[in-house]
């Protein structure tokens, strides 16, 4: 009889600790939305701190700059990049030389595991405006969100991001945007 009472008591504790059926659905929805990159990107703002940047000029020579980049993504996944350029000697990005504006449209594709074993998403980024009066081609890359950090893919071997078949396959975990919380 004593064993039956203990079994009933433990069963009751187990049932209460597991929670009820329909009320736990809210937690599942929250977990799902946290993993959906479209939901996580919609209506967000991001910033990349002052960092070195090499930009190829028209004669294919590398021009070194320091750059700060702000990125805003609206609910339709239209991305607006504003890059502020600073001289190579201005490592704290205090005296801007010029800025550029690029607008693109994000199209999130399926999950992709990067060379670093990071589960990211494929991203087709189509540029619709560039203040530099050039029309950058579609960028086939990766996108990965980890808490308040946003990472993009990078060129690796033959994965140059020029087509969906040559989509970037690597992510630099040292190069990221930090979310701006208003």
**Model pLDDT, residue 20:** 39
- Which stretches within 36-114 are classed as H helix? 37-41
pLDDT of 19 over the 50 cut? no
**Model pLDDT, residue 60:** 52
Question: What is the model's pTM?
Answer: 0.76
C-alpha dist (Å) from residue 178 to 37, 76, 124, 131, 165: 16, 21, 21, 24, 29
pLDDT of 10 over the 50 cut? no
**Model pLDDT, residue 182:** 75
Cβ-contact 120, 114 below 8 angstroms: yes
**Model pLDDT, residue 133:** 76
Q: Is the dihedral of CA 61, 165, 35, 171 positive or negative?
A: negative
**Model pLDDT, residue 66:** 94
Angstrom distance (rounded) from CA 127 to CA 149: 22
Report which of 150, 149, 175, 157 is spatially closest to residue 115, judged by C-alpha positions: 157
Average pLDDT (128-145) is: 91
**Model pLDDT, residue 36:** 82
Average pLDDT (35-43) is: 88
- Most confident stretch, 21-30, 49-58, 59-68, 116-125: 116-125
CA atoms within 13 Å, Cβ hemisphere of 73: 20
pLDDT of 155 over the 60 cut? yes
Give the start-to-end residue ranges of the domains of the chain: 40-173
Give per-residue pLDDT as tens, 53-93: 876 545 555 668 999 999 999 999 999 999 999 999 999 99
pLDDT of 29 over the 60 cut? no
Taking residue 161's Cβ as centre, other Cβ atoms within 10 Å add up to 23
Mean pLDDT is lowest, of 12-26, 40-54, 56-70, 120-134, for 12-26
Angstrom distance (rounded) from CA 110 to CA 103: 23
Report which of 169, 151, 149 is spatially closest to residue 159, judged by C-alpha positions: 169
Which one is predicted more confidently, 114 or 29? 114
Q: Is the dihedral of CA 30, 34, 38, 40 positive or negative?
A: positive
Give the contacts of 114 (CB within 8 A, at least 6 positions apart).
120, 142, 144, 153, 169, 170, 171
């Amino acid at each position: 009889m004593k064993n039956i009472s203990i079994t009933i008591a433990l069963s009751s504790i187990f049932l209460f600790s597991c929670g009820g059926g329909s009320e736990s659905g809210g937690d599942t929805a929250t977990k799902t939305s946290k993993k959906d990159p479209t939901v996580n990107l919609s209506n967000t703002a991001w910033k990349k701190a002052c960092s070195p940047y090499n930009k190829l000029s028209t004669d294919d020579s590398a021009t070194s700059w320091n750059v700060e980049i702000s990125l805003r993504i609206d609910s339709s996944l239209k991305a607006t990049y504003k890059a502020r350029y600073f001289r190579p000697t201005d490592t704290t990005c205090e005296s801007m030389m010029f800025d550029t504006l690029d607008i693109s449209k994000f199209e999130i594709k399926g999950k992709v595991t990067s060379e670093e074993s990071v589960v990211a998403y494929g991203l087709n980024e189509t540029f619709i405006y560039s203040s530099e009066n050039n029309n950058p081609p579609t960028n086939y890359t990766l996108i990965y969100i980890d808490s308040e950090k946003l990472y993009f893919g990078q060129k690796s071997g033959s994965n140059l991001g020029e087509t969906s078949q040559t989509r970037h396959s690597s992510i630099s975990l040292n190069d990221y945007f930090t979310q701006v919380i208003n």
